[in-house]
Amino acid sequence: MKINLKIEKKKHQGSILVFSLLIMFIVLSVVVGISGTSVISRKTSSSTDDSVRAFQAADSGLEKVLAKIKMDNLGTVDELRTTGLMSCNVVGGLAVIADNNVGYELTFKDDSDNVITTCNSANAIGEVKSIGSYETVSRAIEISVDIFDPCDNVLSVDYYGDGTDVYDTVAIGDQCWLDRNLNVGNILAGANSLPNPADAIIEKWCPGASGTQDTNMDCDTYGGLYRRDEAMSIGVNPNQGICPNDWHIPSDDEWHILENSLKLVAASCNLSRNGSSPGGGWDCNDAGIELKVGGISEFNALFSGQVATNKFWFRGIYGYFWSSSNNIRAVKDDADNVFRDDNLTAGGIDFLNNRGASVRCIKD
């Protein structure tokens, strides 16, 4: 049986590649010195159950290491293990990740089909084999990894075409993003100065100190803050907004895909959460970590704060991002998860068109 999956892999700085996984389920007998194909016995229910549990153990090991490979495919085998749950040792000339409590062992080949023999050398993984064991039964699953790039080999985007404002790209899952906040347009005098979406001139706030109206030149650090109607008013299609050609402001669904690809838990993040939901609109544990600077995704979300009620707020604490839908995402300096809110008129304040937030662009 063959199943095609996709996960993303880091291949070089500024770009993460997406790999297509061809999963081949192979029933093996595992005997010291002998490897051959065996038939799962169906004579008793216990033997069938043992085979199923052995496959489940093998699958459990694969799931854990694929979550790591998904983030970075140029690390060491030792970096693929889950700290405290797995060990990496050289056994019989092979680098082996094992979890004796669950009952699986994983071995690896690099992208040149060479067996990986050490735990601490960096390799691009080309194949993973997981052997799961239960009672006296062992079963194996092998996967091969093939390269697929959602950025279509676009490593950077020169917005103005003169080489002065170049944005690197980063692939996360099946998506390709610019790796920093957009910073284009004329600087507004302060938080109490408003843009004019009707004039076709891009205008931005540069994040100032919290509680003040005074702007500064921190746009070079944090990117610009844009009112949503201003961010969406430019462009040749409804979602392009102020993004470069062939790029657009992400929809709510596209943000949801991003946070789902980085979350820790198996369950899908709550797409309909908002500030009044249980948990206050926060969900997707660990996605917040991976989106921030230093996160393995290299999305590099910054705490640019926002503009609201004619003042700057929360610079250095929160990063707020517009979607092309009527909602907003946020990350926080000390939060592991991601905030979503679609209640942008709370307290009688129209935050939809009287708030400044960051803009991050995604490839068409």
Two structure tokens written together for 93: 């000339």
94 and 202 share one domain:
no
Check whether 279 has a pLDDT greater than 60: yes
| Count of Cβ atoms closer than 10 Å to residue 3 Cβ | 10
51 and 185 share one domain:
no
Q: Which residue has the higher pLDDT, 15 or 248?
A: 248
This prediction has a pTM of: 0.68
pLDDT of 6? 44
179 and 272 share one domain:
yes
69 and 48 share one domain:
yes
SS3 360: coil
Instruction: Assess contact for 89 and 98: CB atoms under 8 A.
Output: yes
Instruction: Assess contact for 122 and 12: CB atoms under 8 A.
Output: no
| Count of Cβ atoms closer than 10 Å to residue 70 Cβ | 23
99 and 207 share one domain:
no
Helices marked H in 72-126: none
Contact partners, residue 108, CB within 8 Å, separation at least 6: 77, 95, 115, 116, 123, 125, 127, 128, 129
318 and 248 share one domain:
yes
Q: Report d(CA 323, CA 214) in Å as an integer.
A: 26
| Region of poorest pLDDT, from 1-15, 116-130, 144-158, 261-275 | 1-15
- Residue 25 buriedness (CB in 10 A; 0-12 / 13-18 / 19+): middle
Task: Pick the closest to residue 148 from 16, 290, 296 (CA basis).
Answer: 16
> Mean pLDDT highest for which of 58-62, 67-71, 196-200, 238-242?
58-62
pLDDT of 216? 65
Number of Cα atoms under 13 Å in the Cβ half of residue 120: 1
Q: Pick from 120, 148, 176: which residue ends a domain? A: 148
pLDDT digits (tens, 9 = 90+) for 266-275: 667 888 888 7
Two structure tokens written together for 329: 């995402």
Q: Pick from 122, 148, 174: which residue ends a domain? A: 148
Check whether 15 has a pLDDT greater than 50: no
200 and 268 share one domain:
yes
Check whether 13 has a pLDDT greater than 90: no
144 and 262 share one domain:
no
pLDDT of 289? 93
User: What is the span of the domain harbouring residue 310?
Assistant: 156-363
Q: Which residue has the higher pLDDT, 119 or 7?
A: 119
The gap between the terminal CA atoms of the chain, to the nearest Å, is 34
Q: Report d(CA 114, CA 136) in Å as an integer.
A: 30
138 and 162 share one domain:
no
Q: Pick from 148, 167, 200: which residue ends a domain? A: 148
How many domains does the structure of the chain reveal? 2
Q: Report d(CA 285, CA 72) in Å as an integer.
A: 19
pLDDT digits (tens, 9 = 90+) for 352-363: 677 899 999 999
120 and 164 share one domain:
no
Task: Pick the closest to residue 233 from 131, 359, 50, 147 (CA basis).
Answer: 359
Instruction: Assess contact for 198 and 216: CB atoms under 8 A.
Output: no
181 and 122 share one domain:
no
Task: Pick the closest to residue 296 from 288, 304, 307 (CA basis).
Answer: 288
202 and 351 share one domain:
yes
Edge-to-edge order in the sheet of strand 15-26: 2-12, 15-26, 137-148, 125-134, 104-110, 94-99, 87-91
Q: Which residue has the higher pLDDT, 143 or 234?
A: 143
